[in-house]
A and B are shown apart, each in its own frame.
Chain A
């Protein structure tokens, strides 16, 4: 059974750094891309970027390029999303999800999702 298990909720202050995680199991983690999706309070879904754990090839949404860093450690089947300096506007639920990728780097759909990590940034 494919499972993506995310780290727990975080409460941080503006300016602090943060790294949240997503551990995959039940499939070959190295051979599938992993993506991150943001959902701000009461709002819709936004794709942030994807990473291929096999070689750490990473693609970012233009909206999130330079704002976050996506990484992965294939030895422990875990992907990460990190911020170097959080802002109040980073308050959101963050989901990792497994995408099926198509030709030319396009993304077809997300077939499995993690349970979400709530990040709250407040002074």
Chain B
């Protein structure tokens, strides 16, 4: 059971905006960088956002990340059918039983 909680699903029409939350604690999000991954159906995860709000080369600026306290948010604007995927947040957990932790995952559906 993950220590990072995400909503199971979000949906919106093409062109609209969605936000995905990732809730943690002071031992993980509160004191470490957050990253986000996109997993298209049947494929490996891909890095989408790192260091809370930075985009790797090739990731469009429709994707954005932010962090406040012990929560982080991924935003997707101008939603496209190709954005239908599972999205995971991730961060280091500094507790004794920690390590790198992923969120529970959110399925984005384009209506």
Minimum CB–CB distance for B15 against chain A, Å: 29
Chain A binding surface, main DSSP class: strand
Tell me if A45 and B92 are in contact (CB < 8 A).
no
Tell me if B44 and A114 are in contact (CB < 8 A).
yes
**B residues within 8 Å of A by Cβ?**
2, 32-33, 35, 37, 44-47, 50-51, 56, 88, 90, 92, 94, 97, 99-105
Minimum CB–CB distance for B2 against chain A, Å: 7
A107 touching B92 in the complex, CB below 8 Å, given contacts A45-B102, A47-B100:
yes
Q: Which 4 A-B pairs have the closest CB atoms?
A: A109-B35, A47-B100, A45-B102, A106-B92
A107 touching B2 in the complex, CB below 8 Å, given contacts A44-B88, A44-B105, A113-B46:
no
A109 vs B99: C-alpha distance in the bound complex, in angstroms?
A: 12
Minimum CB–CB distance for A122 against chain B, Å: 21
**A residues within 8 Å of B by Cβ?**
35, 37, 44-47, 59, 61-62, 95, 97, 99-100, 102, 106-116
A37 vs B33: C-alpha distance in the bound complex, in angstroms?
A: 19
Minimum CB–CB distance for B55 against chain A, Å: 12
Residues of A within 8 A of B35 (CB): 108-110
Tell me if A111 and B32 are in contact (CB < 8 A).
no
Residues of B within 8 A of A37 (CB): 45
Tell me if B97 and A44 are in contact (CB < 8 A).
no
A119 vs B44: C-alpha distance in the bound complex, in angstroms?
A: 15
Tell me if A108 and B50 are in contact (CB < 8 A).
yes
A115 vs B102: C-alpha distance in the bound complex, in angstroms?
A: 19
Tell me if B92 and A108 are in contact (CB < 8 A).
yes
